[in-house]
Amino acid sequence: MSAPEAVRCTLMRGGTSKGAYFLADDLPADPGARDDLLLRVMGSPDPRQIDGLGGAHPLTSKAAVVSGSTDPDADVDYLFLQVAVDTPGVTDRQNCGNILAGVGPFAVERGLVPAGDAETSVRIRMLNTGELAVATFPTPHGRVRYDGDAAISGVPGTAAPVVVEFPPAAGPLLPTGNVRDTVAGTEVTCVDNGMPVVLVPAAALGVDGAETPAELEADAVLAGRLRALRAEAGHLMGLGDVEGTTVPKLTLLAPPRDGGSVGTRTFIPVRCHTSIGVLGAASVAAGLRLPGGVGEGIAELPAAGDRVRVEHPTGFLDVDVRVDPAVPVVRRTAVVRTARKIFDGTVFPRPAETAPAHARRPGGRHDSAAR
């Protein structure tokens, strides 16, 4: 299939991200041709993405490719693709739990899954890792409902809740086998509850963890330390050379300031997230539940219950996580997100002759077996 002149597309906000959702059959089967097309759809490489759908930030330059699943435990397959903003790169090295929130509604809208009379649960296989998730959302009278009273930090107003539950990940919760490691001279906890994350005490890097993302991004010394830490942690976690990729995430931990469990600042890879990713927060919450981790003495966990409130620059994200530290393994992870359909129609990619000849796809697929 050659790259089409026009493509059916649904633009959706999923959680605190925004992306273009496609049926797999509407895109080229060849990954290189597909990625080149997505660069032209999003308007990359260009820091403003002025000639495409992208919003000039990694959180608004994302794509979901969805199809019916052959896995008996799933209804649909979801491939997440991060489209770089100012470089010609498309990567499948990570999942995105925010864009995931829109996959269930999209699957119903496009007829991949029938809607229930009151609510619908869609079983989703995340092709980036092979892991599963179940999204449940309201479908009164067999139609997806987007309005509601659920509020999430980083998104104005309210919307219908999308409850996303994650079965235990297939890979180890502690990729290095240790609850603490010394990486680039800093004590960290490397954890993977759906997203490889390195937990780092903010004070260990000379910041207090309450700075704005812009302030942290302007700190050249901090950026250098983050790069060195990511490079070493990537090898230690079995991810290989992570230069040019977005995993592992680095999350700085600080005492909570607004009644939550912990304050965070997350880097992707050296740009500071304006909130926090769903799967990243799931990994942070699980890491805080591990005795002996670097979160001890920083986090303030509730005395009862599974909920961990993860504070971030624009609010908080609640994660219900149950950990058996003796194994260690996560028994349950669930979050509440929201999603909204922005438009459904046809997108016209930038002409191929003005686009880069080949999309650069940093690294290979990040899968469970490799972790």
Which residues pair with residue 74 across a beta bridge?
A: none
The radius of gyration of the chain's CA atoms, rounded to the nearest angstrom, is 20
Both 236 and 351 in a single domain? no
pLDDT of the residue at 368: 31
Q: Please write the tens of the pLDDT for every residue from 31-42.
A: 999 999 999 999
pLDDT of the residue at 364: 44
- The residues, ordered by sequence, that sit 6+ positions from 119 with a Cβ below 8 Å of its Cβ are 136, 137, 138, 139
Question: Could you tell me if residue 281 is inside a domain?
Answer: yes
pLDDT at 356 over 90: no
The continuous run of DSSP H or E covering 41 comes out as: helix 31-42
| Separation of alpha carbons 330 and 195, rounded Å | 13
- The residues, ordered by sequence, that sit 6+ positions from 289 with a Cβ below 8 Å of its Cβ are 301, 308, 321, 323, 325
- The residues, ordered by sequence, that sit 6+ positions from 265 with a Cβ below 8 Å of its Cβ are 202, 207, 209, 211, 213, 216, 251, 252, 254, 272, 273, 312, 313
pLDDT of the residue at 1: 61
pLDDT at 357 over 50: no
Question: Three-class SS of residue 37?
Answer: helix
Token pair recorded at residue 267? 């880097």
Give the domain extent around 198.
181-327
Q: Please write the tens of the pLDDT for every residue from 109-125.
A: 999 999 999 999 999 99
pLDDT at 244 over 90: no
Q: Please write the tens of the pLDDT for every residue from 305-333.
A: 898 999 999 999 999 999 999 999 999 99
Number of separate domains in the chain: 2
Rounded to an integer, the average pLDDT of 198-227 is 96
Q: Please write the tens of the pLDDT for every residue from 260-288.
A: 999 999 998 888 999 898 999 999 999 99
| Backbone φ and ψ of 89, nearest 5° | -125, 140
Question: Could you tell me if residue 37 is inside a domain?
Answer: yes
| Separation of alpha carbons 281 and 316, rounded Å | 10
Rounded to an integer, the average pLDDT of 41-46 is 98
Both 206 and 163 in a single domain? no
Both 136 and 241 in a single domain? no
Half-sphere exposure (Cβ direction) of 367: Cα atoms closer than 13 Å: 7
Report the CATH number at residue 193: 3.10.310.10
